[in-house]
Amino acid sequence: MHRTLAVVALVSMVTVGEPASAAHVPRHAPSKDACSSLASRWQRSQCESFHNSAPGDEYFGRMKMSYLGIDNTAHDVAIEAGAYTTNPGLITRLEFADEALRQWEQRYPGDPQLARSYFLMIEVYRKVYTQDAQQRAWAYMQHVIHAYPSSYFAKILRIDVARGFTEHWFASPQTCPAKPPPFETTTPTPPGQPKVVVIIPPCVQPQTPEPDESESPVPEESATPAPEVTPL
Closest CA to 160 of 152, 172, 169: 152
Residue 14 has pLDDT above 50, yes or no: no
Q: How many domains does the chain have?
A: 2
The pLDDT value recorded for residue 124 is 98
Angle at 102 between CA 167 and CA 114, to 5 degrees: 85
State residue 203's pLDDT score.
Answer: 76
List pLDDT tens digits, range 138-175.
Answer: 999 999 999 999 999 999 999 999 999 999 999 887 77
Give yes or no: residues 75 and 138 share one domain.
yes
In a domain, 60, yes or no: no
In the prediction, which pLDDT does 54 show? Answer: 82
Looking at the structure, do residues 25 and 72 belong to the same domain, yes or no? Answer: no
Shared domain for 128 and 167, answered yes or no, is yes
| Per-residue model confidence as pLDDT tens digits over 23-79 | 333 344 455 566 766 667 656 656 666 566 788 789 999 999 999 999 999 999 999
Q: Is residue 205 part of a domain?
A: no
- On the question of pLDDT at 183 being above 50, the answer is yes
Does one domain contain both 88 and 42?
no
- Tens of pLDDT, residue by residue over 120-141, are 999 999 999 999 999 999 999 9
Say yes or no: 45 and 157 in one domain: no
**Whether residues 128 and 170 fall in one domain:** yes
Q: What is the pLDDT of residue 50?
A: 58
Helices 88-107, 131-147: crossing angle, 10 deg rounding: 20
Residue 215 lies in a domain: no
What pLDDT score does 129 carry? 96
Q: For the whole model, what pTM was predicted? A: 0.65
Strand arrangement of the beta sheet that strand 166-170 belongs to? 166-170, 195-199, 184-187
DSSP bridge partners of 185: 198
Residues 108 and 163 in one domain: yes
Q: Are residues 35 and 80 in the same domain?
A: no
Is residue 28 one of the residues assigned to a domain? yes
Structural domain span for residue 149:
67-174+181-199
Do 46 and 120 lie in one domain? The reply is no
State the CATH number of the domain containing residue 149.
Answer: 1.25.40
78 lies in the same domain as 185: yes
Specify whether 100 is located in the same domain as 189. Answer: yes
| CA distances from residue 163 to 74, 182, 185, 191, 224 in whole angstroms, order as listed | 24, 26, 21, 13, 88
Does residue 186 sit in the same domain as residue 75? yes
In the three-class reduction of DSSP (H, G, I as helix; E, B as strand; rest coil), residue 170 is classed as strand
Residue 20 lies in a domain: yes
Percent of the chain with pLDDT over 90: 47
